Structure 1
């Protein structure tokens, strides 16, 4: 498969630019801090005591500060939605880049985990050196009270423990098998940031403050001539005018994280206020395969195609929220909006049980992605025929609407049944339009892309994927490949941030 440079730049260029900028910032900050502690005169005596463990621990701490501040920004959903909808963000590439905010959040989280391991490992070396390299010449520089003392690090241990729980519960298998574990452990980030802000208050590392009166390595008054000869120091070397003075570092973590943390808290408070408006569930419909369709009304609620809502039911879980793509958007004449919810886990199972008792207590909230359509190709792959009944009425209604408006080519549905065993057709008369659209097997994606490319020469076609990772990877790869018709395919995947 030949990769098209133009398609690759459209689909991958923006995110790779952001990735390189992020990697560059991390690399520059690590090297800058490493060299500062390696060559800085104010850290001369501290470096003699701790060695490279000092440089690595401080450099990794600087990278951790950067990523602990950045990791919160992609989770400000309302802010991102506002920025995405402003006139200043006009290009589709910028909007699609904002849609990948969750991926950036994951990247920052991985960086935090990696550099936490580096930071902890370097500090273990520092702890050993503080104990074994106790300085009699500079008592103020010591963290240990005597040589060989074992030094505890309570806040560091708590941070590592919380981070370990958050990392392990973020794995795909945990999120799929028990989402509640992921949700509640991830909310430990509040405790994590509180401990992080007080982590450096103890002032374990100190720097020299009087380098003019006491240049690093100068000859002190009580230093013996024998020691002078051992260190190959000249007799005429300048003596220190005073002893070295040391001062603890002022904690700087709050300078990095306070801004994003306050922004995130304001964002959460704003979403909480907005979610206080009541939502009325006007229709509940049960579809095959344990799928429930909800139609709701909320005052002053606006939405566009591609938007998703966050559903919360207090009787199921007070703090747990789940995103669902809108399958029906409100209009000026009809304010109803709807979702399709498939019962596949604990939360959806309990929500189904409580649905008919606490309908008025469900609340939703304003994240959307939208594109202006000229033609719509709708490809739906299911294992069994019954699944198509979820949206059969809607698809037939759209098909009829566009035929009535003399636009038969505007909506082109293709329905694939992947399992041909015991296959039956849709016998209902009202679904006869779908019978000719029903195909057996899986889509031949390359042929389908060629067909769409031929019908849209030299144009840009948006590809929107909502499905398993296998199909997503295939479509992503095809979008980056070259076509003989000059068509550019822009890949988009449903992502809840």
Structure 2
């Protein structure tokens, strides 16, 4: 009867689905959160603050910083006497262009910090002794913040380009209008002679578009914009997931982008007045026909000079830090790595066990793997599946692309004979790098949720948790592991690990320490259903061979989290998730909803992969 109940729950969950995230194979559905009485529960304000307030504060401070920088620079150029005459030519597009440029400098300074992986790992480890885990958890969102900053760069780039389009057009118009002031300003001495010109356009007969493109500012701006477009367009989810190499290589166009923005201001086309003390523009603007004459000694010819480039001052520090980051990565990549063992697992998965002098890791961390024989440039990220207690570190690689299949061939995965280490390819490792799972021992109760390939980091985590439990060196008392899988045979290597824990917990009399729940979302039919019913009374599950029975459908967090809160009243519960963003959003909201229930607080942590 339990099997029938589980199948009925799976069918009911299909009807409870509110909207589909993606119906392609291997994807999950987004489920609307319901109470058992069918009513949607409003998110508790306190709980939202628990998980989201620090992030909102950080984003709010960053946005306010951009707004403050924009407003300050806008009014500086709109009201400054040094740019009084230039504004007469360009109008309001001048302060718009300069304000957006200032914000570009600010965000280009910030955009590299989140991708300094060694810096993030160092900060995460250092802050353990001086900051709360709520503050440290913000470092786990470094890639999200990197994306936000990139979007802000795109916004200000669009504003900057649009403003300069008007600026160039108005520079040409100033030569041809009947306005006496604009003509007087445009006919000042050539910039290369007396350095008094304010209008950089000296020949009004040329095409404005060609003028904008031929200048150093125009060429560098165009190159930087093209690089930015390629970087952003190749960073979309579909490109990054399906064509990782395209994303990886085009992202390195950031070098071209930074070169472009650094030299963008060398042409000094934005020109300020240098003799404001002798020539007050507000007084002399109406006396332009007497400039330089003895009749009006208070109005000598206005002198102008180009504003010096300032972008380099903003980005030289982050660029130096990033170069140091890459130097550290390069040095580590040259250290010898030995593949000690290659294990072939079912479903096109193989395991590489490696050793490297001085390599230390924490559970759930990840590395970048490089095989020079396959490519001199490609580095691919893999989550470590070994535990810190192991005398090796390992990754599980699924053969799903050209690079992974080529690596499997070089490692002789399909060959029966054992291969000595010297016959295996040379590999380089960069890392390990920290993740949210470093905080798993900060709570008395942990809830691990994995979806599909997101189960990989929990292989390492579960090993480490069980090892610390056996040693008695942990305040962690209970672990709940929920694994949502589309196809069981894709991760059969994980079943072996769970079977090991089945036996270990029984032998050590710790049956209640780890409770795991496997959910199969598809790949089952009526024949399997009949088999499940037939073998429901068996000790082990007929699908996975595990002691815990397989559930069908998707977990109902509106039943699961209240039950956990009831069982652990007043406890701080760490929820660690690795999987698709759509399911992350659902689980995140559920953690907020039920954090105030029974005094329990669910702290949501998301792994990025």
* TM-score, scaled to structure 2: 0.75
| Distance across 2 between alignment mates of 1:477 and 1:248 | 53
Residue aligning to 1:341: 397
Cα contact 2:184–2:288 (8 A) shared by 1? no
Cα contact 2:347–2:489 (8 A) shared by 1? yes
Give the CA deviation at 1:168. 0.9
Does 2:301 match 1:243? yes
Give the CA deviation at 1:365. 1.6
Paired residue secondary structure (2:221): helix
> Per-residue displacement from partner, 1:401-436 (whole Å, max 9, x unpaired)?
233332221111111122222536799989987143
Aligned length: 484
Residue aligning to 1:195: 260
In the alignment, which of 418, 425, 433 is matched to residue 367 of structure 1?
A: 433
Give the CA deviation at 1:454. 1.4
| Distance across 2 between alignment mates of 1:488 and 1:117 | 43
| Distance across 1 between alignment mates of 2:129 and 2:79 | 45
Does 2:64 match 1:24? yes
Cα contact 2:373–2:426 (8 A) shared by 1? no
Q: How does 1:17-416 map to 2 (within 5 A)?
A: 17-86=57-126, 87-134=128-175, 135-138=182-185, 139=188, 140-149=197-206, 150=208, 151=211, 152=213, 153-219=218-284, 240-331=298-389, 334-356=390-412, 358-369=424-435, 370=438, 371-372=440-441, 373-416=476-519
Q: Structure 2: where are the runs of 5+ without partners?
A: 1-40, 176-181, 189-196, 413-422, 442-475
Cα contact 1:218–1:239 (8 A) shared by 2? no
Change (3 A) 1:393 1:216: same
Cα contact 2:77–2:83 (8 A) shared by 1? yes
Cα contact 2:223–2:256 (8 A) shared by 1? no
Give the CA deviation at 1:268. 0.9
Give the CA deviation at 1:238. 7.0
Paired residue secondary structure (1:473): helix
Cα contact 1:290–1:343 (8 A) shared by 2? yes
Q: Structure 1: where are the runs of 5+ without partners?
A: 228-236
| Distance across 2 between alignment mates of 1:223 and 1:433 | 92
| Distance across 1 between alignment mates of 2:76 and 2:273 | 14
Give the CA deviation at 1:141. 0.5
Give the CA deviation at 1:350. 2.7
Give the CA deviation at 1:128. 0.6
Cα contact 1:11–1:480 (8 A) shared by 2? yes
Does 2:505 match 1:465? no
Change (3 A) 1:56 1:337: same
Residue aligning to 1:234: none
Cα contact 1:7–1:490 (8 A) shared by 2? no
Give the CA deviation at 1:221. 11
Q: What is the Cα-based RMSD across aligned positions, in Å?
A: 2.5
